[in-house]
Structure 1
Amino acid sequence: MIFSGVSLCKRRNRCCWAFSAVAAVERLIKIKTGKLIPLSEQQLLDCSRNGGNQGCKGGWMMNAFDYISQNQGITTEKRYPYQQMQKNCDTQINKVATISGYRMVPENDEEALLKAVPNQPVSVALEGHGRDFQFYNGGVFTGDCGNSLTHAVTIVGYGTSKKGLNYLLIKNSWGQSWGENGYMKIQRNVERQGGLCGIAMKASYPTA
């Protein structure tokens, strides 16, 4: 199962939480309206400062979802383009899409995570600084990684490889030259708490 109408993978290394959150919201809006609208990650970097979000120094996707809900919307990438750093929040922008809130997936529960994915993409934190992860170039990832939550991605599908390996399909923010055009198939149902690279430890998704 792979979602259609997911925007292209962008290269935005250290601001990953904003890109993970926007990817999930974009797809939810696509489900609601039938339109894929590129939304503004920069607005989240500048304006979502609740819960300890600190621009490109780090942040959490659920705090971004909460900001969009409380702000009653988010604007487009074209109207509020990415600047590669946190700047002053522009409050005089038109809002084109909104969400009602967000939900957390039960921690360390891969089955609950898998049940959430068919309804909408899910934002997750995982360990992404390891060599195996950073140099992934295709296939189902089964590499060496721990569970330090250092990176954020978006689960956009799942499946089973021809070799019988179950996987989750994640959209990264390291550009289309990384992995499989910016995506990774990461093994699921591994025998470790939190899943491979801790992918099931901190998962959330926006609600309509």
Structure 2
Amino acid sequence: MSRRDKVVFLAGNKINLRPLLKSDAGKLSRWINDPEVTQYLSVYLPMYEKEEIDWIENLSKCKPNDIVLGIETIAGILIGTIGLHGTNWKDRATNLGISIGEKKYWGKCCGTEAVSLIIGYAFETLNLHKVCLSVFGHNERAIRCYKRCGFKTEGCRKKQIFKNGRYADEILMAVFKVNKKTERRSKWIKQ
């Protein structure tokens, strides 16, 4: 599939969010097996490309409670994934997960733009009330990103996650639809 054949689900200024393709499986497998990429993820088992293909193919069966999208640069380079998981339609709440696998895009605001786009979608299109997430307490770059997008800390689960031979705190954060900072997301949306 050529770059211009790819579907853009949410368009931003630096990045777009699009459905994942089977052809993305190799990149996803490379990222999920890279300890530097997964240092802040709860992943601890190796993943094979075939497993990633199966996962991508099964994403459509998870709708509407789980939505996973690829984060792609305007130039068409897949750099990560983002999703809304475990959506509770009665309580109008969901959980956010994001990973930027292409390291050269770390610290370039691509994650901030992706988070802004997806929370805009969660609030404006899905009419959700709250977007939650959990993050390793020592993942300062991610915490800064989430705060820029309007997330507030709701709690800390001390020494909750065992990773790389030690226990890490898990910070619980959330943003509500009525939060004024969420209005900043409009600067990322392509007009």
TM-score (normalizing by structure 1) = 0.23
Higher helix share: 2
Higher strand share: 2
TM-score (normalizing by structure 2) = 0.25
